[in-house]
Amino acid sequence: MKYLFVTGGVVSSLGKGLAAAALGTLLEHRGLKVVLQKFDPYLNVDPGTMSPFQHGEVYVLDDGAETDLDLGHYERFTSCNLSKLNNLTSGQVYESVIRKERHGDYLGATVQVIPHVTDEIKGRIRQVTNEMPADVLITEIGGTTGDIEGLPFLEALRQFQDEVGSENVAFIHVTLVPFIKAAGELKTKPTQQSVAKLREIGIAPKIIVCRAEHPVEADVRHKLSMFCNVPRENVIQFLDVEHSIYEAPLKLHEENFDGIVCRALGLETPEPDLSDWRATVERIIHPTHHTRIAVVGKYIELQDAYKSIYESLTHAGAANDCRVEIEKIDAEEIERDGAEAHLAGMDGILIPGGFGERGIEGKIAAARYAREQGIPYFGLCLGMQIATIEFARHVCGLEKANSVEFDPDTPDPVICLLEEQRDVTDKGASMRLGTWETRLAEGSRARELYGKASVNERHRHRYEFNDAYKARFREAGLLVSGTSPDGTLAEIVEIPDHPFFLAVQFHPEFQSRPRQPHALFRGFVAASLEQGQRRQA
Ligand code: GLN
């Protein structure tokens, strides 16, 4: 097995995760089996307890692990299916070390960062190597070189390289090469210094990936090669992609990134045939039609909070030969101005997952607008709970209907706490998480879109549809069209008498890939496209 370690230089938010994922795409196209993982130096055990404002989206895996959103890139760009092994945080490392210390496993030793913490980190790499065998393991180290909390990880990787032999390891440093306007040139000094930091701790990157806004010309590459002690051809550029992140593998291949990596690791592989990937990108960036879809949420100003949803809409757009223009609308603005002001002219309305009371009434108004105006509606997790509350209030006449999450004393708790959640007090990793089966009702829209009777989807919620209201909803026109296998948990609701009104308790956005768009997103975008055509007719 060969190991690639991807570090970041100069600033965060460089697109390191994207570079790692794109490299995964390229290596898979060279016929290699690839696994990706992320090390996050923060002390949270996982990002599940962090606010989206801190961290962006929490990406949920099949086994229920709540992970960094870069794992979303890894799954979308490769054929990997990742597990909780693939995201390691300092919090997990220390939790395990302290548990072992209390258990007496260290036999009287003084417990220290070196070797105990570093052993723990190396142990995880070995575990992934054993349990997820592959040709290449790509590990991205979160944060920026020079961060205090990143040091134990880098030290562990230095030791690891010694143990498995440097011919089996390559460090790739993804770094910012800033353009200074006044000088009219790209500057290499920050990168020189961040590579110097790595070399201080005994790590010599073999490849430098320059994130830059302008082409990195030969003289700049030459300088970087000299000062960072890497061969000239191993300094490559990674410019901002023009239209779509899915161009990244193509751009990096133009720089022979995959070729350099294979050479650095002594891997003999054929040149990749990227025609299928190129065709997918082509469909994404040059569609014939377009449609406008509103995403009504709470963390709208944040690029990353609904990352997988935006990506899934893009995939589904390409599948429908259409560009999805995403209008990001803050639910609180709907509360202020009314739904019509923000949603008139939209071809589809999507309400994503979320927690807490803020913006809830705005989302309910948006769902009502979609239902009453016949605009396609797609609710995800909280978006299903919102649709249910709205229907209860305005169709069934239960004016005070609510979720007990927002109003614990509501007379009509149409969304209530999951039975298994009643005694849960810890906030971390304690929701209903991960993949669960859903059985689909015959004749339902959900069944028609999926084209099968049973599906597995990923979950992350504490509250659920209250079955006591099921019959009443059915009579009024809201159908439960998907349930857990034992029939007790409602997983999907839909309004048959509507162009497209479908809401799910799970998160389909975690299973859409550019080459396998999710069936429900596809159906929703198709319905939105039709809605736009109807509107214009
Ligand atoms: N807050 C809701 C719940 O816990 C919805 C969760 C979500 O949208 N992920 O059930």
- What pLDDT, in 10s, does the model give residues 387-427? 999 999 999 999 999 999 999 999 999 999 887 778 887 88
Å from CA of 431 to ligand 1 middle: 9
Query: What Cα–Cα distance (Å) separates residue 128 from each residue in 137, 141, 305, 524?
Result: 9, 15, 28, 37
127 pLDDT higher than 90:
yes
Ligand 1, residues at Cβ distance < 6 Å = 353-355, 381-382, 405, 460-463
Q: Which amino acid is at 107?
A: L
* Lowest mean pLDDT segment, chosen from 154-168, 204-218, 290-304, 485-499: 290-304
Å from CA of 463 to ligand 1 middle: 6
Atom of ligand 1 nearest to the CA of 380: 8
Read off the pLDDT of residues 15-29 as tens digits, 9 standing for 90 and up: 999 999 999 999 999
Atom of ligand 1 nearest to the CA of 355: 1
Read off the pLDDT of residues 158-194 as tens digits, 9 standing for 90 and up: 999 999 999 999 999 999 999 999 989 999 999 999 9
Where in the sequence of the chain do the CATH 3.40.50.300 domains occur?
2-279
Atom of ligand 1 nearest to the CA of 381: 8
Query: What Cα–Cα distance (Å) separates residue 472 from each residue in 299, 339, 397?
Result: 34, 27, 11
- The token pair that represents 236 in the structure block: 């490559």
Residues with catalytic roles: 381, 507, 509
Q: Is omega for the bond preceding 115 within 30 degrees of 0, making it cis?
A: yes
DSSP alpha helices (H): ranges in 430-518?
445-450, 470-476
Atom of ligand 1 nearest to the CA of 463: 10
CB distance 188 to 196 below 8 Å:
no
Burial grade of 301 (CB within 10 A; 0-12, 13-18, 19 or more):
exposed
pLDDT at residue 311 in the model: 96
* Lowest mean pLDDT segment, chosen from 318-327, 360-369, 469-478, 528-537: 528-537
Atom of ligand 1 nearest to the CA of 354: 8
Strands annotated E in 122-202: 136-141, 169-176, 179-180, 185-186
Strands 479-483, 432-440: pairing kind: antiparallel
Å from CA of 461 to ligand 1 middle: 4
Nearest CA to ligand 1 atom 7: 353
Strands 207-212, 235-239: pairing kind: parallel
Å from CA of 503 to ligand 1 middle: 13
For the residues 78-94, what does the mean pLDDT come to? 95
CA 304 from chain centre, in angstroms, equals: 9
**Which of 66, 306, 308, 355 best tests ligand 1's pocket when mutated (most atoms within 8 Å of CB)?**
355
- The token pair that represents 493 in the structure block: 């609701």
Å from CA of 451 to ligand 1 middle: 27
520 pLDDT higher than 90:
yes
pLDDT at residue 429 in the model: 75
Q: Enumerate the β-bridge partners of residue 137.
A: 3, 35
The number of beta carbons lying within 10 Å of the beta carbon of residue 52 is 20
41 pLDDT higher than 90:
yes
CB distance 495 to 371 below 8 Å:
yes
In whole angstroms, give the CA distance from residue 85 to residue 96.
14
DSSP 250-286: HHHHHTTHHHHHHHHHT---PPP--HHHHHHHHHHHS
Nearest CA to ligand 1 atom 9: 353
Å from CA of 81 to ligand 1 middle: 24
Nearest CA to ligand 1 atom 6: 461
CB distance 487 to 471 below 8 Å:
no
Q: pTM value? A: 0.94
Å from CA of 422 to ligand 1 middle: 15
505 pLDDT higher than 90:
yes
In whole angstroms, give the CA distance from residue 353 to residue 418.
17
Atom of ligand 1 nearest to the CA of 507: 9
For the residues 499-513, what does the mean pLDDT come to? 97
pLDDT at residue 439 in the model: 97
34 pLDDT higher than 90:
yes
The number of beta carbons lying within 10 Å of the beta carbon of residue 426 is 7
In what side-by-side order are the strands of the sheet with 169-176?
87-89, 34-40, 136-141, 2-9, 169-176, 207-212, 235-239
pLDDT at residue 249 in the model: 97
Q: Which pLDDT band holds residue 86 (cuts at 50, 70, 90)?
A: very high
Superfamily the domain 2-279 falls into:
P-loop containing nucleotide triphosphate hydrolases (3.40.50.300)
pLDDT at residue 321 in the model: 95
For the 289-536 domain, the top CATH level (class) is alpha beta
**Which of 405, 416, 504 best tests ligand 1's pocket when mutated (most atoms within 8 Å of CB)?**
405
pLDDT at residue 54 in the model: 78
- The token pair that represents 444 in the structure block: 């339902």
